């Protein structure tokens, strides 16, 4: 099913390219070449896949519990701000202390922000979709303030408002030797992402908490009958979701940019929704979907540079993938496997 939705989206995208007077085969060739054409391109694709995977886990863990986390974007930014603050505040600490501190700051920052949405849902019945949408905007403006003329603004910064750089100890090093792939930016964050995917799997399928979370997701009433309190789980699961997203933000700071700046990592949290849905909320699926969307993002940039086709084409394709998944019943109805009526159940 996920493969079909991608193919449908690519097909409609191709029609689109054709109408706008370009050759779709050239477009997609440039896209693939841009994403995987050289070891450097592959490493750049992976650099994008790392935060996408983590943000995808964030959305997926909430989905598994029956919650819709549209707030991965905001949680990612809070994680980045917290990590950036810790990393730049104590620049002289040795790495063995500073790196774990930075990581914990990022995860806790995201987790705390996510937990707010869970808490409001559990105690006041507020739909988490509303809370997390609002939270996404709140953090953007708080970030403007922090970085433009607030407590985190770098002294004498020119250009894009940014924080001071983090200390050397907070940096996740590049793991590919320069002799092997020159200029590669692929950093140790990829190891953290792989560990997070394993943690996600272990948590959901190998712990009693994970069992309870999934039980709530499959039916809150039935879970309550079985003695699982859905409300308490809501706060916890949104905190876990926020933690994954916060880790994504921390990795962007520690691995890639070494500071926080205004307009930081825009859009990852939204792409993450597509990643989680396309990956069917499974560990492997999310990883593959994240690599696919990362390839779109990386390849799209080069497609625009080399084939002269707007990189926004990949947004159109991504939206189509999402839309086809959303309207999966359409495809099912067309494929004749089962009608929309049954698909509801």
Partner 1 sequence: MNIEVLIGAGVLAATLRLATPIALAALGGVVTERSGVTNIALEGCMLMGAFFAIFAADKTGSLPVAILVGLIAGVALAGLHALASITFRADQIVSGMALNILALGLTSYLDYELYGTTGTPASLPGVPTVDLGFLSAIPVLGGAFGHQSSILWVTFLLVIVLELFLFRTVPGLRLRAVGEHPRAAETVGIDVRRTRYWAVLASGALAALGGVYLSMAVAGSFTDGMTNGKGFIGLAAMIFGRWKPVGALIASLIFGYGDALSVSLQGVSIADVRIPVQLLSTIPYVLTILAVAGFVGRSRAPAADGLPYESEGH
Binding site for partner 1 (CB under 8 A): 16, 20, 68, 70, 120, 124, 126-127, 129-131, 133-135, 137-138, 141-142, 144-145, 148-150, 270, 273-274, 277, 304, 310, 312-320, 322-323, 325-330, 333, 340-341, 343-344
Which of 109, 70, 20, 24 has its CA nearest to residue 277?
70
Closer residue to partner 1 (CB): 212 or 318? 318
Q: Which of 186, 252, 192 lies closest to 39, judged by CA? A: 186
Q: How far is the CB of 274 from partner 1 (least distance, A)?
A: 8
Q: Which two tokens stand for residue 332?
A: 């099912």
Token readout for 317 is 């394709």
Instruction: Tell me the angle at which helices 268-278 and 39-64 cross, rounded to the nearest 10 degrees.
Output: 70
Choice between 10 and 134, CB closer to partner 1: 134
CB 284 within 8 A of CB 56: no
Residue 38 Cβ vs partner 1, minimum distance, rounded to whole Å = 26
Contact 308, 297 (CB under 8 A): no
CA dihedral 244, 247, 252, 253 (to 10 degrees): 150
Burial class (CB in 10 A: 0-12, 13-18, 19+), 201: middle
Could you give the CA distance from residue 275 to residue 294 in angstroms, rounded to a whole number? 10
Task: State the minimum distance, in angstroms, from the CB of residue 319 to partner 1.
Answer: 3
CB of 128 to partner 1, least distance (A): 10
Cβ proximity to partner 1: between 102 and 281 the closer is: 281
By C-beta, is 148 or 306 nearer to partner 1? 148
Q: How far is the CB of 53 from partner 1 (least distance, A)?
A: 19
Nearer to partner 1 among residue 47 and residue 276 (C-beta): 276
- Compare residues 115 and 193 and give the one whose CB is closer to partner 1: 115
Compute the least distance from the CB of residue 62 to partner 1, in Å.
12
């Amino acid at each position: 099913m996920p493969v079909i939705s991608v193919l449908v989206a690519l097909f409609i995208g191709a029609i689109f390219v054709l109408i706008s007077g370009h050759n779709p085969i050239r477009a997609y060739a440039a896209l693939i070449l841009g994403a995987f054409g050289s070891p450097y391109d592959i490493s750049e694709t992976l650099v994008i896949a790392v935060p996408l995977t983590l943000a995808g886990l964030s959305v997926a863990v909430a989905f598994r519990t029956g919650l819709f986390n549209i707030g991965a974007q905001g949680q990612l930014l809070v994680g980045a701000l917290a990590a950036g603050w810790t990393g730049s505040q104590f620049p002289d600490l040795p790495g063995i202390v500073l790196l774990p501190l930075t990581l914990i700051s990022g995860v806790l920052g995201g987790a705390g922000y996510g937990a707010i949405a869970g808490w409001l849902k559990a105690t006041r019945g507020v739909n988490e979709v509303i809370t997390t949408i609002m939270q996404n905007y709140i953090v953007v403006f708080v970030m403007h303030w922090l970085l433009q003329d607030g407590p985190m603004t770098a002294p004498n910064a020119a250009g894009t408002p940014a924080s001071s750089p983090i200390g050397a100890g907070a940096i996740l090093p590049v793991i590919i030797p320069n002799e092997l792939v020159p200029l590669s930016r692929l950093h140790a964050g990829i190891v953290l992402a792989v560990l997070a995917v394993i943690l996600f799997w272990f948590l959901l399928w190998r712990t009693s908490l994970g069992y309870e979370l999934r039980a709530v997701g499959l039916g809150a009433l039935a879970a309550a009958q079985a003695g699982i309190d859905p409300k308490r789980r809501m706060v916890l699961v949104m905190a876990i979701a926020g933690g994954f997203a916060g880790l994504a933000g921390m990795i962007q700071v520690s691995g890639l940019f070494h500071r926080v700046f205004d307009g930081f990592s825009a859009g990852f949290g939204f792409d993450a929704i597509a990643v989680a849905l396309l990956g069917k909320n499974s560990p492997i699926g999310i990883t593959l979907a994240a690599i696919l969307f990362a390839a779109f993002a990386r390849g799209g940039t080069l497609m625009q540079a080399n084939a002269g086709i707007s990189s926004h084409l990949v947004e159109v394709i991504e939206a189509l993938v999402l839309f086809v998944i959303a309207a999966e019943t359409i495809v099912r109805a067309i494929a004749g496997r089962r009608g929309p009526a049954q698909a509801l159940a």
